[in-house]
Amino acid sequence: MSVDQAISDAVSNFDKAIIHLSEEFSRLQVGRASTGLVENIMVEIYGVSQPMKAIASISIPEARTIQMQPWDKSALAHIEKAISNAGLGLNPINDGVLVRINIPQLTQERRVELSKIVKKFTEEAKITGRNIRQEAHNAFKKLRADSVITEDEVHGADKRLQDKVDDFNKRVDDTAALKEKDIMTI
């Protein structure tokens, strides 16, 4: 492995961490319907756990309603149970043809709670970034120990890596700020 490869791997992992953070944020209930709230809920059906998007068509017919229409009507009860057990605080309504979820209006108390969750996810992403940085730094140390690069090259590589880490942290903060603004907007 070279210095450039270690930095490239770190940048790739930073991108994956940003994508994961965005996915976590999309699952937060912010008073509007979003397919992201339910599409990855695991539904136990046919003796196998499958994501919701694999067994039903998910749509947003109104701004505050999510609708799941399974391809097999026998899945309705399983979908309803999975949503209830997902811990999202959503109440599914099974009408015999499809399952609807009405998204309730957010209270100020719930907005503050969601804001704390955003901060928690943000901190977890930054910890991931620090771990990625440490892995790359360890790769630099190994290259130095193997006499592949000099001490000066290690310092140069650390500086290049830190620039990437700073960019990652800014992206995390920007993503979090947008989500927090979205949550606090009434």
Tens of pLDDT along the chain (186 residues)?
Answer: 788 898 999 999 999 999 999 888 877 766 677 787 788 888 998 889 989 888 999 998 988 888 999 998 888 889 989 888 877 777 888 888 899 988 878 788 878 888 888 999 999 999 999 999 999 999 999 988 988 888 888 899 999 999 999 999 999 999 999 988 888 876
Give the separation between CA 30 and CA 64, rounded to whole angstroms.
Answer: 10
Nearest to 67 by CA among 89, 27, 31, 100: 100
Alpha carbon distance 166, 168 (integer Å): 5
Q: Do 113 and 98 belong to one domain?
A: no
Residues 20 and 59 in one domain: no
Number of domains in the chain: 2
How distant, in Å, are the alpha carbons of 8, 80, 85, 136 from that of 142? Answer: 17, 53, 47, 10
* Residue 150 token pair: 């000099």
Q: For position 53, which CATH number holds?
A: 3.30.1360.40
- Residue where one domain finishes, among candidates 49, 69, 102: 102
The candidate with the shortest Cα–Cα distance to 104, out of 186, 31, 183, is 31
74 and 119 co-located in one domain: no
Q: Is there a single domain that holds both residue 169 and residue 137?
A: yes
Same domain, 114 and 87: no
- Are 120 and 157 within one domain? yes
- Domain of 55? 35-102
- In this structure, are 22 and 45 located in the same domain? no
